[in-house]
Amino acid sequence: MDMLKTILDRRSIRKYTGDPVSRDKLISLAKAGMAAPTSRDTRHFNFIIVDDESVINKLLEGLPYSKMMATAKHAIIVTSDLSIAHGGAETDYWIQDCSAAAQNITLAATALGLGACWTAAHPREERVNFVKKVIELPQNVNPLCVIAVGIPTGEEKPRDKFDPSHVFFNKWGKLS
């Protein structure tokens, strides 16, 4: 049941102490991301772990909604090799797969006592191109999101987002 609690307790963290996170833990997050399902099992993921402060600072220059990275100090960038993903750039299966991987990462971070905040690159073309340039992604590799990772201050508490009026049984509008 621990897992359910982690899922319910996870929230976007924007307040960090600035303390370091070990590479072992960051690799565990990438491992969690890689365990996500991919359409037709194409396994098209690559994860870029950012723990070099100069790269964090470069990323901050072009990502308007990622200010929390300044104190988080680490990030994981979830990318898809579109030459491998089912449907490539023509469909959006890669978006679904990368989103599942990103969610695995935010949950694994929560489980490890870290904080995480998912910030979008895609679908904003200027942010996608900016991230690709900073971390030198090949043409066929697209970043979905930049996940800030760090040590949370603990000020931000879990929130209960459950609203039973948005759960139906067997058809729209049927509450039991």
Residues 26-55 that bind a copy of itself (CB under 8 A): 27-28, 30-32, 34-37, 39, 43, 45-52, 55
Rounded to a whole number of angstroms, the minimum distance from the CB of residue 135 to a copy of itself is 5
Residue 21 binding a copy of itself, by CB under 8 A: no
The vertex-37 CA angle with 137 and 143, nearest 5°, equals 20
Q: Which of 70, 82, 120, 128 touches a copy of itself by CB under 8 A? A: 120
What would the two tokens of residue 76 be? 């994981």
Q: How far is the CB of 29 from a copy of itself (least distance, A)?
A: 10
Distance CA(45)–CA(89), nearest Å, equals 14
The least distance separating a copy of itself from the CB of residue 153, rounded to whole angstroms, comes to 19
Least distance to a copy of itself from the beta carbon of 87, Å?
A: 8
The CA–CA distances, whole Å, from 108 to 31, 80, 114 equal 9, 20, 8
From the CB of 69, what's the least distance to a copy of itself, in Å?
Answer: 14
- Determine the Cα–Cα distance for residues 28 and 113; give it in Å rounded to an integer: 13
Any bridge partners for residue 74, and if so which?
Answer: 149
Q: Closest CB to a copy of itself among 143 and 151?
A: 143
Of 124, 119, 37, nearest to 86 by C-alpha is: 37
Q: Do 85 and 39 contact (CB within 8 A), yes or no?
A: yes
Residue 140 binds to a copy of itself (criterion: CB under 8 A)? no
Supply the angle between the helices 93-111 and 23-34 in degrees, to the nearest 10.
140
Residues numbered 72 to 111 that lie near a copy of itself (CB under 8 A) are 87, 91-93, 95-97, 99-100, 102-104, 106-108, 110-111
The binder of a copy of itself chosen from 13, 135, 149, 151 (CB under 8 A): 135
Contact at 8 Å (CB) between 118 and 106?
yes
Contact segment (CB under 8 A) with a copy of itself among 13-21, 134-142, 149-157 equals 134-142
